[in-house]
Amino acid sequence: MAVSLGRLGFFVGEPYLAALTGEQVGAFTGQLEQAGYSGMWLGSASADFRLAEPILSATSGLVYGTGILNAWIEPAERVVASYRRLGPAYSDRVLAGIGIGHPERPDNQQYAKPYANLVAYLDTLAEIPPENLALAALGPKVLALAGKRTADAHPYSTTPEHTRQAREILGTGPLLVPEQKVLLETDPVRAREISRQSTSLLLGLANYRNNFLRLGFTEEDLADGGSDRLVDAVVPWGDPAAAAARIREHLEAGADQVAVHVLGTDNPLPIAELSEISAALAD
């Protein structure tokens, strides 16, 4: 059965939840669903899907997605076993998002022929139906692969223009769920200072640098943690209405859901900020 998504999701790195219990995560996801969100995407996720049951059992329709499972690190057999464990009860609420990672990461020392290895990894996931798979996709080649082999493309740190291009490549069928960082900070100096902490990390990775160049940014934009133009394009800052405006841009460009990634808070489960953004989007 195909996975159904509403227009709002929440993105958080799974390692940030390591100190929380399943009960705490489950309680949050109940609040998240009530606030108008229909997906929870876990970045740097583990193949054991350790939070899937707490998230799924605490909600009635919220989708559990991994964004991503690193194909170099997470054994495909364990991903299949985790999917099998969830069983038919949750088959319409799981998206196993797969990605090839980055050659700069120290745990990706075997990085080579990323596209061929991504295809081979998908081949080993044959027991998981395509409608329960997603791909982290930035460039045209992997976006096309996502449309052919999975239900969903899940780009990270992109812009509405990338969403428009991705929708053209995918066509009308596959789902498209971009991650979107947002920052509820109205002071420009402070907002860009916080945002550059994120963009500086991205700009140290060739995959993101190349994607920004494809989108029309220059090498000057990519220097010193990113120009104001790039930082503002990657991280909309301001009040909840500013975050909602960027989400609308993605939706109008062809996204099915936007995975909202809240910066500037020490709380890994920022329900207050997420509720404000959802309310602003509804206005």
| Region 249-261 average pLDDT | 98
Q: How confident is the model at residue 1 (pLDDT cuts 50, 70, 90)?
A: low
Whether residue 2 has pLDDT greater than 90: no
Q: How confident is the model at residue 113 (pLDDT cuts 50, 70, 90)?
A: confident
Reported as a single tens digit per residue, the pLDDT across 115-170 is 999 999 999 999 999 999 999 999 999 999 999 999 999 999 999 999 999 999 99
Q: How confident is the model at residue 102 (pLDDT cuts 50, 70, 90)?
A: confident
Reported as a single tens digit per residue, the pLDDT across 187-234 is 999 999 999 999 999 999 999 999 999 999 999 999 999 999 999 999
Q: Of 27-36, 100-109, 257-266, where does mean pLDDT reach its minimum?
A: 100-109
Whether residue 97 has pLDDT greater than 70: yes
Report the pLDDT value the prediction gives residue 108, as an integer from 0 to 100. Answer: 60
Report the pLDDT value the prediction gives residue 110, as an integer from 0 to 100. Answer: 67
Q: DSSP readout, 206-263?
A: HHHHHHHHHTT--TTTTSTT--HHHHHHHS-BSSHHHHHHHHHHHHHHT-S-EEEEEE
Q: How confident is the model at residue 112 (pLDDT cuts 50, 70, 90)?
A: confident
CATH of 8-182+243-282, one of 3.20.20.30, 3.40.462.40, 3.40.50.300, 1.20.120.80: 3.20.20.30
Q: How confident is the model at residue 104 (pLDDT cuts 50, 70, 90)?
A: low
Asked if 229 and 246 count as a contact pair (C-beta separation under 8 A), the reply is no
> Residue 239: which residues within 8 A CB-CB, separation 6 or more?
184, 186, 280
| Region 1-5 average pLDDT | 88
Nearest C-alpha neighbor of 28 from the set 8, 10, 48, 7: 10
Reported as a single tens digit per residue, the pLDDT across 178-189 is 999 999 999 999
Instruction: Supply φ then ψ for residue 44, to 5 degrees.
Output: 50, 50
Q: How confident is the model at residue 106 (pLDDT cuts 50, 70, 90)?
A: low
Report the pLDDT value the prediction gives residue 62, as an integer from 0 to 100. Answer: 98
Report the pLDDT value the prediction gives residue 51, as an integer from 0 to 100. Answer: 97
Report the pLDDT value the prediction gives residue 107, as an integer from 0 to 100. Answer: 64
Ranges of each domain in the chain: 8-182+243-282, 185-237
Output the average pLDDT for the chain.
96
Q: DSSP readout, the chain?
A: ------SEEEEEEGGGGTTS-HHHHHHHHHHHHHTT--EEEEET--TT-TTHHHHHHT-SSPEEEES-EETTTS-HHHHHHHHHHH-GGGTTSEEEEEE---TTSTT-TT---HHHHHHHHHHHTTTS-GGGEEE---SHHHHHHHHHH-SEE---S--HHHHHHHHHHH-SSSEE--EEEEE----HHHHHHHHHHHHHHHTTSHHHHHHHHHTT--TTTTSTT--HHHHHHHS-BSSHHHHHHHHHHHHHHT-S-EEEEEES-S-SS-HHHHHHHHHHHH-
